[in-house]
Each structure stands twice: as C-alpha cells, then as structure tokens.
C-alpha cells in the first residue's frame, strides 16, 4: 500500500528578504514594531558581531589545521540566528549553548580565547557563567543542555525570579540546540517538563539542515516548529538567516516567558556552510548546488545590503572589517600562548573546600608519575 500523502507546512517569519529588502511576510508584520524601535547603533552592532563571528570562525579552523586545536566547531552561515537571538536577551537571562554559539558567548562578555582553550584541551569547563553574562558551559553531549536549562528555569520559578511584573528583574532561560538534537530523548523530555511547569524558557533550534551527515528531512517529516504545539507551547518558524527576524521573535518570546506566559519554541531555518566540525568532510554527503543555493542567502550579505540602503557608509563597513581582522589576530596570538594546566587542577575544583580524598588521590598521582624518573636514567 502506498504511503499516505501528507502536507505538513508552517509559515516562516521573515522581515529581510535574501535580496536585502525589508519586506515582512504576513506572519512577520506583528514583529515590525520591535525592529522599528532599534536605534542605528544597535543595528550596526548586529553587523559588527556577525562579521567578527565569521572572521573568528576562519581563525579557529586555521588553528585546528595547524595543530593548535584538537577540534573546531564552525558556525559559518549561522551568524544571523545567533546574533539576533543573543541581543534579544536581557542581562539577567540565562543562556545555555550547545557547542557552536561562539558569538553568543562573546556578546554576553565571554573572552573567545576561553572557547579556544576548551577546544585545545587546556580546560574541561572553560568559564564561570556568573562572570560571563550568565552564559553557561558548552555541552558536547547532544541535547543534554535542554534538560539543564529546563531545570534552571524551574529553579527561577521556585526562587520567584520570574513573573513578578518587573521586566527589569524578571529572568528567563534561552537554550540553543540543533536539528540533530531534536531526535534525542533529552530534548523531548525537556519539552515535557517545560510545558508541565510552564517554565520561563525559550527553546531555540538552529535548523542548519544537517545532523553531521543526516539531513533534517530524514529526522522529521514535518517542520520542527510544529513540535511546540505537540508539547503544548507556541512554535514559530523563522528565517534564521534574517538577523532582524531572529532578534524580534526571540525578543517577543523571552518577554512572554519572563511575564509568566510559559515556554515557547523557535525553529531558525539556516545553513551550516562549513563542516559539522573540522573532523568532518561535508563534500561526501551534500552537493555543490545545495551549498550555492544557501550562499545566495548569506545572512551577512543581505544585511549589509539593507544597511547600505539606509545610508551606511563604505567607511563604516571598512572599519568593521578592520575590527574583525584585529579581533581574529588577537585571538590567534593569545591562543598560541595558552599553556598546559598543571595536574593539580584535576583535583582543585571537585569539592568547594579541601577534601582528604582529593589530597590522597593527588599524592598517589605524584607518586605514580615520579616512579618513572628512575626509568629514564
């Protein structure tokens, strides 16, 4: 018996067309006031951050190819999804990334060298979220951060840190994950708990079309945004290469979450222009025609076209390019200065206070490693 024909579709919120024209789709018109309220400095900041992100990506990939990093995870092509959503968050919000949100961390105040140290193997954690804009640690185990974020959002509720009526105090949680992670049990369990407890939370799916070599069409027969409704929360699909749509929809969703209206889900349609990681060869599973299709929808190019139509000068873009090059050069220089941590660090932060078991294990390791000294004579 032939398979039944199904027509699963979802409208896409888009404010900025691939040609760089501000032309809102019907679903996007309600978000226009949020964009119109942005000043020129903020609009220019979007372009700066996307440009810096791309230059940092190139620097990270080069460092890995030169043997300075064990791995690099590119975000090339996903700049608009990340920059727009990151700027939508308030300082008191908590952000839970996967392992590709480099520019989100930088926007929240994280030194990108901390990310490079992680991929160099010089640290197991990387940074203290409290000191870096509540930007939590990278999670290499797919979708586990969705549960972490839901638990944290429940904690905000228990502490009375949301839905107080004061937007300057109320906090929400923003969690990033990819289309591949939506197939993990953790992601679905997180949605269950978030919906049940009506957590102040936004689930942000970066649908970059590929879970390593598995296309999203293999994972889901319907748009991922529709999963929100299946779990009892709003689901919105946006053009993830449109930084204005990313900002506006995430801003609205976070405001509703802080106010006590419960969680929501955003699917950002974007594309991973590079490899999944530097350990991957995408030419083995995707076509040149597909890559070219998405190159024509480049998030930085379309946004630059729009800024130019608003009067942004050539001097501004030259300044941004120079700044991005300087940031990348500085990050590269400092990455090469990263030193190997001493073995004492293994035991330093297992407990908050000195612990006899850690002292015992550290002494054993010293004795074990010193036992090899005589073999070298």
From 148, 237, 276, 297, the catalytic residue? 276
Q: Is 189 exposed, middle or buried (0-12, 13-18, 19+ CB in 10 A)?
A: middle
38, 48, 42: which is closest to 322 by C-alpha?
48
Total residues found in the chain within this entry: 377
| Alpha carbon 137 to chain centroid, angstroms | 11
Alpha helix segments (H runs only) across the chain = 32-36, 40-65, 79-88, 102-107, 112-120, 144-158, 185-197, 216-219, 227-230, 243-258, 288-295, 299-309, 314-336, 345-348, 356-370
State the Cα–Cα distance between residues 368 and 184, nearest whole angstrom: 41
The yes-or-no answer on residue 276 being catalytic is yes
From 65, 285, 293, 333, the catalytic residue? 285
The yes-or-no answer on residue 285 being catalytic is yes
From 258, 272, 302, 332, the catalytic residue? 272
The yes-or-no answer on residue 272 being catalytic is yes
266, 204 contact by CB (below 8 A): yes
Catalytic positions, written as ranges:
272, 276, 285
């Amino acid at each position: 018996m032939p398979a039944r024909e199904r027509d699963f579709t979802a409208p896409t919120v888009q404010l900025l067309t691939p040609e760089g024209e501000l032309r809102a789709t019907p679903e996007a018109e309600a978000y226009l006031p949020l964009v119109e309220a942005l000043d020129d400095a903020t609009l220019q900041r979007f372009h700066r951050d996307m440009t810096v992100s791309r230059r940092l990506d190139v620097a990270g990939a080069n460092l890995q190819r030169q043997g300075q990093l064990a791995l690099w995870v590119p975000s090339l092509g996903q700049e608009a999804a990340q920059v727009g959503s990151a700027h939508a968050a308030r300082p008191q919000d908590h952000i839970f990334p996967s392992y590709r949100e480099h520019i989100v961390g930088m926007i929240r105040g994280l030194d990108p060298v901390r990310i490079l140290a992680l991929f160099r193997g010089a640290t197991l954690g990387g940074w203290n979220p409290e000191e870096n804009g509540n930007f939590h640690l990278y999670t290499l185990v797919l979708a586990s951060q969705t549960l972490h974020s839901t638990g944290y959002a429940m904690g905000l509720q228990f502490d009375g840190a949301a839905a107080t009526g004061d937007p300057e105090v109320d906090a929400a949680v923003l969690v990033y994950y990819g289309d591949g992670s939506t197939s993990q049990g953790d992601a679905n369990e997180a949605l269950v708990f978030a919906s049940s407890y009506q957590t102040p939370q936004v689930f942000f799916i970066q649908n970059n079309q590929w879970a390593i070599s598995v296309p999203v069409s293999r994972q889901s027969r319907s748009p991922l945004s529709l999963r929100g409704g299946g779990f009892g929360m709003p689901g919105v699909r946006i053009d993830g290469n449109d930084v204005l749509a990313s900002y506006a929809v995430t801003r609205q969703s976070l405001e509703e979450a802080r106010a006590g209206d419960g969680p929501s889900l955003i699917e950002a349609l974007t594309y991973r222009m590079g490899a999944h990681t530097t350990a991957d060869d995408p030419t083995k599973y995707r076509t040149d025609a597909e890559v070219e299709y998405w190159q024509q929808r480049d998030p930085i190019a379309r946004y630059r076209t729009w800024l130019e139509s608003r009067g942004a000068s050539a001097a501004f873009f030259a300044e941004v390019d120079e700044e991005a090059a300087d940031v990348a050069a500085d990050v590269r220089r400092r990455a090469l200065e990263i030193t190997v941590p001493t073995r004492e660090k293994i035991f330093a932060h297992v407990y908050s206070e000195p612990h006899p078991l850690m002292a015992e294990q550290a002494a054993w390791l010293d004795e074990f490693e010193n036992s090899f000294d005589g073999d070298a004579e």
